[in-house]
Amino acid sequence: MRFDFRSVSSIRGVARRIRWHAVFIALLIGIGAVSAACWMNHEEVKLTFDNRTEAVLCFYLSPEEASTADCSAEVKPQATTAWLPGCGYGPDADKIPLTVVLTVKEGGRQIYQRTEECRTWQASDRKFVIEQRGDDFVATDPLADATQSP
């Protein structure tokens, strides 16, 4: 009986490929576990805007963003709109500040701005009611009484 050495080297090659595949799969599983742990520590707040005016409003997460007047998050007139901004990731993500800025789309006039920790927004009912009285807009936020536009 004759022994074929090519079979042995072929078996070794397959074994080597299986080991590399196992290392690659273990690496992917590790990356997935770390990603899942980060995702599970993600904090967010569902904000609801009850726009009782005839104006289109814009929602921003910073005064700088509001100054661009690029209204990508519209709050339609006579409608209730919800947005789900994220606060951040990690064990202290609920302590990260979250800013809410509301402007009138036409003209960009700011009618509301407030910054609080994410957990403060989360502990509230997270509902804003916006009304108009003459030329003034009144925003009642979930954290305080009505505030008139500046």
The neighbouring-strand residues paired with 48 are 82, 127
pLDDT tens, position by position, 23-81: 556 555 655 444 444 445 788 999 999 999 999 999 999 999 999 879 989 999 999 99
Rounded Cα distance, 91 and 130, in Å: 34
Q: What is the pLDDT of residue 20?
A: 63
Q: Two tokens at 8?
A: 């042995």
pLDDT tens, position by position, 84-113: 999 999 889 999 999 999 999 999 999 999
Domain positions in the chain: 1-40, 43-148
> What is the DSSP annotation of 46-70?
-EEEEE-SSS-EEEESSHHHHHTT-
Rounded to two decimals, the pTM is 0.69
Q: What is the CA radius of gyration of the chain?
A: 27
Give the residue, 95 or 14, on which the prediction is more confident: 95
pLDDT tops 60 at residue 141 = yes
pLDDT tens, position by position, 115-124: 999 999 999 9
